[in-house]
Structure 1
Amino acid sequence: MRSGLVGRWAAVTGAVLLTGACTQATGLAGVGATSPTTPPPSAGATPAATAPTPEHMAAEQPPQGGEPVKVPPPKLSKYTYTFPVKGCKTEYQRKLLVLPKTTIWAPQGCAFVAPVGGVVDEVNVQDRWSPSTDAGATREGKFVTIIGDDGVRYLGGHLDSVADGIKPGTRVKGGQVLGKVGRSGNARDAGPNLYFAISWKTGPAFWWVRRGMVKPWDYLDAWQEGNRTLSPREETLKLRGKLGETPQCTVQCGGAVRQQQDPPQASKTPQPQKSPKKDDDDVVTLTPTTAPLDGR
């Protein structure tokens, strides 16, 4: 009987020991209490949970954009313009000095081209300017004016020469060569340049109008730098409505009477009659006979 009790006690003890061993190996619900493959972190090492991962590093980097997409400038008018000097490096004034015009500095012989399609209005192929008289009407030397399809007149002066076939009434396209940059007129003692001016159509007697009424540099900037549809039409028509088609000459008016004896080639426009001369011989007021332009 004693040996039987000892046997049962041995059996119970073995079962308890076996159960403890299993519990240490698997832990709760069969999961090990410690991972046999994960060594304890060493002193000073970054815990695995806080170490940066490739995913975290990628998320912290700003996204790399592609090449910028070039968006064309907005179309501001139905007309397309061209910078009036072609194929040469240029510089020009961007401020008002004496007249609302600009001087475009360019090498001798560079092409002066039509800024927009239109019709040739006036052509002067002879340099009539003299330093002794310094007549205002001849300061531009050899020049060409066109009436653009936008209704605006454009002048290119100080030319070295006028292109073949360019005469009053000739139809031209935007960018077509009208002449070559030079030093005629009162530019003979300066570097070669193009006298460029914006105005509206008048008779050739009103030469001071063609010399410039609208500041051109904002339009030149746009035509050269990207927006070739910025048009001076609206500003020109507005100013003409304010001043009248033939405003009185107020700047560099000398030589008006002498110039009338030998005018440049021009489209057939009725000549205005002169009013009585005032005491100031440098200022002559002309009474227009030309009919007002339409809104072209």
Structure 2
Amino acid sequence: MVPLTTGRRRAYALLLLAPVLAASGCGAPPDAPTGAGPTALVSPTAGSSPTAGLSPTAGVSPTAVATTGATSAAPDRPDQPAAPRAGLPHVFPVRAEKVSYHPTHSAYPGTDIFADCGEPVVAVTDGTIGEVSRRDRYRKSGPQGPYNGGLSVSVIGDDGVRYYGSHLTEIAEGVDAGVWVRAGQRLGTVGRTGNANNVCHLHFGISPPCLGEDGWWIRRGVVWPAPYLDSWRKGGNREPAAEVAEWHRKHGCPRKPPTR
């Protein structure tokens, strides 16, 4: 991992879908198919794709990072909105041969990607690390929501989209809030921390970059990831920026989830 430069700024099972997962707030119906081998947001503007490679060569200016316990978050910078870029490479978030996921999820948009514990979790696209949690603070007797993800990490893509993965076994060294990463760079490994019901999987969510502890319900996912995962797994490059920007235009970054 190479430290960020100061001259630039960028935006940031195998059908194991048992009914108990649906009750956890991180699950899906039990009939999941098995897959084949693998801020105000603005509309993305055209940009050239970065050169290939996994070692970061550019980044954003270092800034102070707010830290709560073992959880850190890159500061929200509404006064300096980034300009999202189109045409960036996107890759499937789990690098494993044996993997499956379902197009739907219980209660809210998101996807549980089932793979063996220890399989690599990688950055979906070029971007800056947002929230990072290296400590599993979830307790069944505690608050349900903010800590459900256990060990987790988000990437604020240079396309203006936040990509969130949780229930990890570990977070890779050097993956800290504010660090710039490339598509395909290893972030950690699949696990079962937090409210994962002891099932190895990666909870994957796509959302606008509404950083902050109170935004957990947005971070977990607000648009359905499956159409994009389907594309990336086949080597395509379907981009969620427009759909995420539209959601953000309608809803903003509300601090509390909607009441049912």
> TM-score normalised to the size of structure 1?
0.57
Partner of 1:246: 254
**Identical columns (%):** 38
> Where does 1:285-296 land on structure 2 (aligned, <5 Å)?
none
Q: Does 2:198 match 1:190?
A: yes
Partner of 1:83: 92
Which deviations, in whole Å up to 9, do the C-alpha atoms of 1:47-74 show, x marking residues without a partner? xxxxxxxxxxxxxxxxxxxxxxxxxxxx
Please tell me whether the aligned partners of residues 130 and 211 of structure 2 are also in contact (alpha carbons under 8 angstroms): no
Aligned length: 174
Which deviations, in whole Å up to 9, do the C-alpha atoms of 1:65-116 show, x marking residues without a partner? xxxxxxxxxxxx5121000001331101112421100000000100010000
Shift of 1:225: 1.5
Paired with 1:167 and 1:88, the residues of 2 have a C-alpha distance of: 28
> Where does 1:13-52 land on structure 2 (aligned, <5 Å)?
none
**Aligned with residue 171 of structure 1, among 177, 180, 184:** 180
Paired with 2:97 and 2:154, the residues of 1 have a C-alpha distance of: 21
Please tell me whether the aligned partners of residues 100 and 115 of structure 2 are also in contact (alpha carbons under 8 angstroms): yes
> Where does 1:132-281 land on structure 2 (aligned, <5 Å)?
132-187=141-196, 189-204=197-212, 205-227=214-236, 229-246=237-254, 248-250=256-258
Which deviations, in whole Å up to 9, do the C-alpha atoms of 1:125-156 show, x marking residues without a partner? 00000012252100000000110010000101
Paired with 1:190 and 1:93, the residues of 2 have a C-alpha distance of: 18
Paired with 2:167 and 2:176, the residues of 1 have a C-alpha distance of: 17
Please tell me whether the aligned partners of residues 82 and 115 of structure 1 are also in contact (alpha carbons under 8 angstroms): yes
**Aligned with residue 98 of structure 1, among 88, 100, 107:** 107
Structure 2 stretches lacking a partner, 5+ long = 1-85
> TM-score normalised to the size of structure 2?
0.64
How large is the RMSD of aligned CA atoms in angstroms?
1.5
Report the structure number with the largest CA radius of gyration.
1
Paired with 1:173 and 1:181, the residues of 2 have a C-alpha distance of: 19
Structure 1 stretches lacking a partner, 5+ long = 1-76, 252-282, 284-296
Paired with 1:147 and 1:196, the residues of 2 have a C-alpha distance of: 14
Paired with 1:99 and 1:118, the residues of 2 have a C-alpha distance of: 25
Question: Which structure 1 residue ranges, 4+ long, deviate > 3 Å from structure 2?
Answer: none
> Where does 1:103-142 land on structure 2 (aligned, <5 Å)?
103-142=112-151
Partner of 1:26: none
Structure with bigger RCO (C-alpha 8 Å, 6+ apart): 2
Please tell me whether the aligned partners of residues 88 and 110 of structure 1 are also in contact (alpha carbons under 8 angstroms): no
